[in-house]
Amino acid sequence: MDEQQLLDELLKKHKAGTLKPSDRYTIPPQPMPLQDSVKRRSNVNEVALGYTKTQAQLEALRCLQCKNAPCVEGCPVRIKIKDFIAPIVEGDFKKALDIIKENSLLPAVCGRVCPQEVQCQLPCTVGKKFKAVDMSVSIGRLERFVADWGKKFHDESTPAVAAETGKKVAIIGSGPGGIVVATDLRRMGYDVTIFEAFHKPGGVMVYGIPEFRLPKAIVQEEIDQLKTMGVNIICNFVVGRTKTIKQLMEEDGFQAVYIGVGAGLPVFMGIEGEHLVGVYSANEYLTRANLMKAYQFGKGADTPIARLKKVAVIGGGNVAMDSARTAVRLGAEKVYLVYRRSEKEMPARVEEVHNAKEEGIEFHLLQNPKRIIGNSDGLVAAIECLKYELGEPDSSGRRRPVPIEGSEFTIDVDTVVVAIGNGANPLIGQTTPGLNLNKWGNIIVDENCKTSLQGVYAGGDIVLGAATVILAMGQGRTAAAAINEYLKNK
């Protein structure tokens, strides 16, 4: 039986009210159609192509519509998941989209980059039944399908803006958190200005997450929508240097400020050889490739990037996967992913690990560089690694990697990309007296995202250390509500 026939039969039963959970369990989980793994190695087009209409309906039929909806608890912004899945079955995608949009402003982004397997899809009853999270209903793929359908077929209306309150709010950073705060507050009628240090808005969605995982056109649409709503976006403005928060509030009349400046300073390993030419932070490598379009160097773009043959990426998170897969697309013949724990402990999304392997990236697990070896010109020539084994669980709950003495060996490489995380950017802290920071330099906030300063709120990576797009959005939503509470009585 082909997909369509299966769907027709299931829909018949569904309409007659005779579709039982046991029937739903028999529906095969719908795989994400992907761009061919060989072809995609040499282009930057999106890898995951999105569900077809039939696939989306079949996947939606797998949802049991549980009364307690455990999935919603797993979502940082509490999207009404079972409520948006129900109309997908009926083919009413507009209704599905409207329900998502009640809670999430960027479904096309979140459907693509959220780690659903550790959020909404983790507690899914279907996954529990099969004792496998990859058997859960693919909520993220459905979200993406609905969002893409909306962009394609349904002329999306710009969210309505309430009567002007005449009060000004400054938002620092145009990443996912900043966009949510801006949209929410603009809807309530505030005069909102976003300040962005880069020359293009979008934050990590533009400089960090690659085109092949999140097309920049999607981010641009969200930015355009903000502009249509009347949000001011000022690029090339670095708060703390061009003007301080104090100046914005005292001289320019901003009554509240949201700090969403994101991931700050890249962390290096502190090992010998990290200053050699050919050693990049993942931030630099990805920014050159994405924001500056270095993959088109000489064909329009002016920013160069090392196009070398053997690349080692250090780390096991999504940023490491993005870097390794970018290296493949820049023409590297060998790309190694070096991670000191095992695959089970990798913080990267399972889907991205799978895609990376398919693209030929070689995983070196339970290994970590001890030093980077250079040649006489100061270029990277090799990395010397140590082998590791897993010991007792550490504070993160993952088993601690322990180096095996005397296990040194070398891998010949000419580029090393360090993707082991970020520290807090010191700029705002240094230039904002009275703003309380923790010992790592992250901003301390209360449950409403309020900082130690009156009228100043913060969220995302600068508060959480390392977060995701959706967590930043969740905090943005909390902060927007708190800013409204604060300002409406002022």
Q: For residues 281 and 478, which CB has a smaller minimum distance to other proteins in the complex?
A: 281
Q: For residues 198 and 486, which CB has a smaller minimum distance to other proteins in the complex?
A: 198
Q: Are 401 and 390 in contact (CB under 8 A)?
A: yes
Closest CA to 232 of 176, 174, 184: 174
Least Å distance between CB 199 and other proteins? 4
Q: Are 172 and 261 in contact (CB under 8 A)?
A: yes
Structure tokens at 28: 């095969």
Closest CA to 85 of 33, 134, 145, 126: 145
Least Å distance between CB 318 and other proteins? 17
Q: For residues 319 and 353, which CB has a smaller minimum distance to other proteins in the complex?
A: 319
Structure tokens at 264: 């700050």
Chain contacts with other proteins (rule: CB under 8 A): 197-200, 235-238, 241-243, 263-266, 268, 270, 274-278, 280-281, 283-284, 287-288, 291-293, 296-298, 300-304, 306, 377-378, 425-427
Q: For residues 200 and 399, which CB has a smaller minimum distance to other proteins in the complex?
A: 200
Least Å distance between CB 215 and other proteins? 16
Least Å distance between CB 234 and other proteins? 9
Please name the amino acid found at residue 201.
P
Least Å distance between CB 348 and other proteins? 21
Least Å distance between CB 278 and other proteins? 8
SS3 128: helix
Q: Are 238 and 197 in contact (CB under 8 A)?
A: yes
- Distance CA(143)–CA(103), nearest Å, equals 12
Structure tokens at 296: 């088109």
Q: For residues 9 and 302, which CB has a smaller minimum distance to other proteins in the complex?
A: 302
Q: For residues 126 and 282, which CB has a smaller minimum distance to other proteins in the complex?
A: 282
- Distance CA(121)–CA(349), nearest Å, equals 12
Closest CA to 200 of 287, 105, 115: 287
Least Å distance between CB 57 and other proteins? 40
Least Å distance between CB 375 and other proteins? 11
Least Å distance between CB 468 and other proteins? 18
Q: For residues 120 and 381, which CB has a smaller minimum distance to other proteins in the complex?
A: 381
Helix (H) or strand (E) holding 447: none
Q: For residues 299 and 344, which CB has a smaller minimum distance to other proteins in the complex?
A: 299
Q: For residues 195 and 457, which CB has a smaller minimum distance to other proteins in the complex?
A: 195
Q: For residues 137 and 467, which CB has a smaller minimum distance to other proteins in the complex?
A: 467
The sheet that has 415-418: what strands, in order across it? 279-281, 415-418, 310-314, 334-339, 362-365
- Distance CA(169)–CA(460), nearest Å, equals 18
Closest CA to 167 of 253, 249, 40: 253
Least Å distance between CB 437 and other proteins? 15
Q: Beta-strand (E) ranges in 162-288?
A: 168-172, 191-195, 232-234, 254-259, 265-266, 279-281
Q: For residues 43 and 375, which CB has a smaller minimum distance to other proteins in the complex?
A: 375
- Distance CA(210)–CA(215), nearest Å, equals 7
Helix count (H) and strand count (E) of the chain? 19, 16
Q: Are 205 and 469 in contact (CB under 8 A)?
A: yes
Q: For residues 207 and 388, which CB has a smaller minimum distance to other proteins in the complex?
A: 207
What is the distance of C-alpha 267 from the center of its chain?
19
The string of DSSP codes covering 453-487 is: STTEEE-THHHHSS--HHHHHHHHHHHHHHHHHHH
φ/ψ of residue 117, rounded to 5: -65, -20
Least Å distance between CB 431 and other proteins? 11
Least Å distance between CB 297 and other proteins? 7
Residue found by looking up tokens 């949209």 in the block: 183
φ/ψ of residue 395, rounded to 5: -60, -25
